A and B are shown apart, each in its own frame.
Chain A
Amino acid sequence: MQPRESAARVSVLVRHNALLMLREPGPLLSRLILPLVFITLLRPLYLAAQGRTAGTEQAVVGTLVTFSLLALSISGSAILTERIAHTWDRLRGTPLHPVELLAGKAVPVFAALLAQQLLIVGFGVSVLGLHVPHPFLLLSILLCWSGTLLGLGALIGVLVRSMGELSAAYDVGGMLLSSVGGALVPLSVLPAWVSDVAPASPGYWATRGLHAALAGDTHTVAAACGTLLGTALICGALASVRLRGSSGRLVAL
């Protein structure tokens, strides 16, 4: 694979996929705006329960994890739409290497997921007074979490067979993973069995990592990043296997 030619092909795909996303901005805009509305309306509840500093942090972290899980739809639909439209197979008939194809698809989605999270954090800092003493720790966990979402979304995107299934998967799955992970409600006030199963949810590691990043706990951030990256790699690998050959096709919906 010639690096220059490869970079040129990936840049063509990135441009094209970014254009596709921007031509139908509704889903992206709703994923950007809704969390800000949600956080504003629910923050008083968190403040009353946990006090100003901890309440603001829980409101921002909980909203970020919950709505970023709901944004799985962005990465899932980016792949499912191509499968439904047969354009995925069409692209595989070009000189593109599978890695180039996935990179061209992933970069705009990754950027959208990261933008959503940065917007929520930025809103928390500028409007709600969230204190971020260790921005690079926070950025590292956000990058890892975005990677996990990308992998999870890709896996859902290749497993489901219709937009309806995709919608159900990210609605139910997203809420489940964020709730079980202690994003919306702290695990300390949930039943004990939820705490026992919580580490199985990527949302738990994102929530834990974000709290740790705000507290400057490097060790916990590193553990969370490792777990999230591992999850991302496993999901991405499973999605790649599923897409290989004819198994990733939609013969009939």
Chain B
Amino acid sequence: MLVADGLVKCYGRRPALDGFDLSVAPGEIVGLIGHNGAGKTTFVEIVTGLVRPDAGRLRVGTHDALRAGRAARRLLGVAPQELALYGGVSVRENLRLYAGLAGLRGRRRDTEIADVLQELHLTSLTDRPVGILSGGQRRRVQAATAMVGSPPLLLLDEPTAGADPETRAALLTAVKARAEAGAAVVYTTHYLPELVDLDATLALARGGRVIARGTQEELTRHLPGELRVAFAEPDEPELRLSTTDPGADLAALLASGRAPSSVDIRRPSLDDLYRSLETTAQQNTPTEPEPHDAAA
């Protein structure tokens, strides 16, 4: 549904994207993660047509998005990082605008709006001006403007930034439902547990390129977890072991005749993966300039 191939974008001499590759299949949720300045938002802006890359190719569906941008954007629903809503008019009117621009009219438009409002727990707020809503409610309205019209590609740029748990849960449920219905989703976030909840595949961006791509299992398999063992003897200290094979280490421990009172195995998390890749990249490129992200 989305294929980015070698995208390059420089602001002056600073590269925001430096050979950015990413592909997203229908029904797939890709969690695009990385520090501020990694190029996530520049990538989103290129896909939405706000920024033109210096080099590279981009396909959305069957369209060359750099040559037929408007045709590509017909397939796209966007929730930008910054809230972009009309505060003076109601939730319904905000959605009506984007539904209308998506080509929906009459009863079909109204039904679609009602459905997306219900999906994001916004039905009771339908006729309230957006300007008086809470931050979390506005986040949900913003996501609703992206989802109305059921676009086959969703770009959600930190959709839960500053959101409360209720908003986050509603959004994640809605995003999962859209993916199950066949939408391709690009989801940028700094809240890595959300990607676990979404069962997203991951793309880690750094220095304007994707440095790792795969499922959570694939990317964390080689990382060490932690084996914690407490012993029955009160004077024996708790054992903490960083290991890639906790089963074998535990078996070896038991074979040595020691008697654990409790065992705790912590598998590597996305945070561990993130820290590991960051550390590796920094060691490999010690003099690389910090890339500039246009919206950062």
Residues of the B chain whose Cβ atoms lie less than 8 Å from the Cβ of A13 = 97, 101
A246-B50 in contact given A19-B89, A20-B86 (Cβ < 8 Å) = yes
Q: Assess whether B52 is in contact with A89, with CB atoms less than 8 Å apart.
A: no
A97–B70 alpha-carbon span in the complex (Å): 7
How many Å lie between the Cα of A95 and that of B145 in the bound state? 14
Q: Which of B74, B93, B295 is within 8 Å of A19, CB to CB?
A: B93
Since A8-B100, A89-B50 are in contact, a sample of 13 more A-B pairs with Cβ atoms closer than 8 Å, ordered by chain A residue number, is: A8-B103, A8-B105, A15-B100, A16-B96, A85-B84, A87-B86, A89-B80, A90-B78, A93-B49, A94-B101, A95-B71, A95-B73, A95-B101
- Interface size on A, as a range, is 20 to 34
- A residues near B52, Cβ cutoff 8 Å: 245
Q: Given contacts A8-B103, A20-B88, A23-B89, is CB(A245)–CB(B51) below 8 Å?
A: yes
Interface string of B55-78 (1 = CB under 8 A from A): 000000000000000110110101
CA distance A95 to B85 in the complex (A): 18
**A86→B84 contact, CB < 8 A:** yes
Docked complex Cα distance between A94 and B103 (Å): 11
Q: How far is it, in angstroms, between the C-alpha of A86 and the C-alpha of B89 when the chains are bound? A: 15
In the assembled complex, B82 has its CB within 8 A of some CB on chain A:
yes
Question: For the complex, what is the distance from the CA of A87 to the CA of B80, rounded to whole Å?
Answer: 10
B98 touches A94 (CB 8 A): yes
Distance in angstroms between the alpha carbons of A246 and B295 in the assembled complex: 10
Which residues of the partner chain B approach A96 to less than 8 Å between Cβ atoms? 70, 101
Most chain A CB atoms below 10 A, which of B48, B87, B100, B103: B100
B48 touches A93 (CB 8 A): yes
Check B212 for interface membership: any CB of A closer than 8 A. no
Interface residues of B in 22-57 (CB under 8 A from A): 48-52
Q: How far is the CB of A78 from chain B (nearest CB, A)?
A: 12
- Checking B49, B78, B100 against A9 with a beta-carbon cut-off of 8 angstroms, the contacting residue is B100
Q: What distance in Å separates the Cβ of A92 from its nearest Cβ neighbour in chain B? A: 6
**Which of B102, B105, B145, B294 sits near A246, CB closer than 8 Å?**
B294
Q: Given B74, B84, B93, B105, which contacts A89 in the complex, CB threshold below 8 Å?
A: B84
Question: How many angstroms between the C-alpha atoms of A180 and B105 in the bound complex?
Answer: 50
- Residues of chain A within 8 A (CB-CB) of B294 are 246
Q: How far is the CA of A90 from the CA of B44 in the complex (A)?
A: 12
Give the Cβ gap from A247 to chain B, nearest Cβ, in Å.
Answer: 11
Q: Are B83 and A86 in contact (CB under 8 A)?
A: yes
The 0/1 profile, CB within 8 Å of B marked 1, for residues 34-63 of chain A is: 000000000000000000000000000000
> Given B50, B87, B93, which contacts A16 in the complex, CB threshold below 8 Å?
B93
Nearest first, the 4 closest Cβ-Cβ pairs linking A and B are A12-B100, A93-B48, A90-B84, A86-B84
Binding site for A on B (CB under 8 A): 48-52, 70-71, 73-74, 76, 78, 80, 82-89, 93, 96-98, 100-103, 105, 145, 294-295
> CA–CA, A86 to B82, complex, Å?
7
Chain A positions 9 through 41: 1 when the CB is less than 8 Å from some CB of chain B, otherwise 0? 100110110011001100000000000000000
Q: Are A23 and B51 in contact (CB-based, < 8 A)?
A: no
Q: Which of A13, A23, A97 has most B Cβ within 10 Å?
A: A23
* Cβ–Cβ < 8 Å partners of A196 in chain B: none
CB distance from A13 to the nearest CB of B (A): 8
Chain B residue contacts of A86, Cβ below 8 A:
80, 82-84
- Taking CB atoms, residues of chain B closer than 8 Å to A95 are 70-71, 73-74, 101-102
- Do B80 and A93 touch (CB < 8 A)? yes
Question: Whole-angstrom distance from the CB of A50 to the nearest CB of chain B?
Answer: 44
A5 close to B86 (CB less than 8 A): no
Q: CA separation between A149 and B13, bound complex, in Å?
A: 40
8 Å CB contact of A12 from B49, B50, B87, B97 = B97
- What's the Cα separation between A8 and B100 when bound, in Å? 8
Could you jot down 14 A-B contacts, CB within 8 Å? A8-B103, A12-B97, A15-B100, A19-B89, A19-B93, A23-B89, A85-B85, A85-B86, A86-B80, A91-B101, A93-B76, A94-B98, A95-B101, A95-B102
How far apart are the CA atoms of A93 and B155 in the complex, in Å? 11
Closest-CB distance, B68 to chain A (whole angstroms)? 11
CB within 8 A of A5: which of B76, B93, B103? B103
How far in angstroms is the closest Cβ of chain A from B156?
12
With A9-B100, A19-B89, A246-B294 known as contacts, the answer to whether A92 contacts B84 (CB < 8 A) is no
CA separation between A89 and B86, bound complex, in Å? 13
